[in-house]
Amino acid sequence: MHNGTTLTQFIIEEQRQIGASGDFSSLLNDIVTACKVISNAVHKGALIGIQGSAGSENVQGETQKKLDVITNEIFIKSNEWAGHLAAMGSEEMDDIYSIPRQYPKGKYLLVFDPLDGSSNIDVNISVGTIFSILRSPKGMSQEPVTARDFLQPGTRQVCAGYAVYGPSTMLVLTSGHGVNGFTLDQNIGEFILTHPKMRIPEDSTEFAINASNERFWEAPVQRYVDECLKGVEGPRKKNFNMRWIASMVAEVHRILIRGGVFMYPKDTKDPGKAGKLRLMYEANPMSFIVEQAGGASSTGRERIMEMAPADLHQRVPVILGSKNEVNRIISYHAEPPKASEAAA
């Protein structure tokens, strides 16, 4: 019987091909371990009393779930000691986390959303973890790292990935040479390559958006969704299907498997916020994965991966998925607004 390629084996083989140092493989290994520990906690659920609110708020003013706090801690503990990182940034921490003095410092920066879709945790629906690896501009020097060192465009990511804790736990990764998916074999505790070279179909008839925000959307998104809803009788001349899981990880995973579009667009709900999702640890890593799988990712007006970040916790509009659908939505944004809309 062939055992299948383990993630560890895959990482080492890829590292040999690109002639990288063992550092990167070793860092990925620690991230993978963190995801296994989180997977275990998520799957035990109420049995170990980790559901519900933590009674605190994060930097975005969102109520933290107990698991938001626990998974953040798991990520830090798994990744701080080995000497590969200079600092970490997380959705759950206002400031960056500098590597404590007792540990050696490395040349990479790690940003993560330890638990994505956390509103789903108490109702037993898929959640995930998203991460992105950047090079530290300070290199191996012992100079202190600042939040500004993290503010690099998504095109500079060395690697991005997510784990989805669903009916099975999967890890999906890119380091700029395509996208590969691995499934956790709980019995042996290893991720096995089950989805090599994942590709997003260029066309699709499925879209995902939180339609309760419809009245706050801009005209191009209103138009796109409206045309989809009109089905065979409308300008698209075909029927569309809709999904909304409220876990970006689960939506992106579905799109990688069977295509589709995911939108959390710019809206006027809260004029102080450019969108809901965070650039550094949600939009950028997912955009890297989606583009590497042949899809597209945009705010509607610019390629997400080319944005110059201004803040670690910056929010951006996100429109990603099947290339031809995303390009259509981009083209709607490029059209001049009608006189009636311009006046509004």
Stretch of residues binding Mn ion (CB under 5 A), selected from 88-96, 203-211, 289-297, 312-320: 88-96
Smallest gap from Cβ 242 to ligand AHG, in A, equals: 13
Whether residue 329 contacts residue 220, with contact meaning beta carbons closer than 8 Å, is answered with yes
Q: In this complex, which beta carbon is closest to ligand AHG, that of residue 210 or of residue 327?
A: 210
> What would the two tokens of residue 121 be?
């945790």
Q: Residue 330 has what DSSP assignment?
A: H
Helix (H) or strand (E) holding 256: helix 248-258
Options 82, 151, 192, 246; binder of ligand AHG; rule CB under 6 A: 246
Q: In this complex, which beta carbon is closest to ligand AHG, that of residue 30 or of residue 267?
A: 267
What is the contact mask toward ligand AHG in residues 45 to 74, using x (rule: CB under 6 A)? -----------------x------------
Size of the site for ligand AHG (CB under 6 A): 13
Size of the site for Mn ion (CB under 5 A): 4
Query: Within 10 A of 114 (CB to CB), how many other CB atoms are there?
Result: 27
φ/ψ region of 72 (left if φ > 0, alpha if ψ in -120 to 50, else beta) reads alpha
E strand spans, the chain? 53-57, 63-65, 85-90, 97-98, 108-116, 127-135, 159-165, 169-174, 179-185, 190-195, 206-208, 241-243, 261-264, 277-278, 296-298, 315-316, 318-321
Q: In this complex, which beta carbon is closest to ligand AHG, that of residue 29 or of residue 169?
A: 169
What is the contact mask toward ligand AHG in residues 129 to 168, using x (rule: CB under 6 A)? ----------------------------------------
Amino acid letter for position 116: D
What is the contact mask toward Mn ion in residues 89 to 108, using x (rule: CB under 5 A)? --x-----------------
Residue 267 is a binding residue for ligand AHG (CB under 6 A)? no
| Site of interaction with ligand AHG (CB under 6 A) | 62, 91, 113, 116-119, 210, 246-248, 264, 276
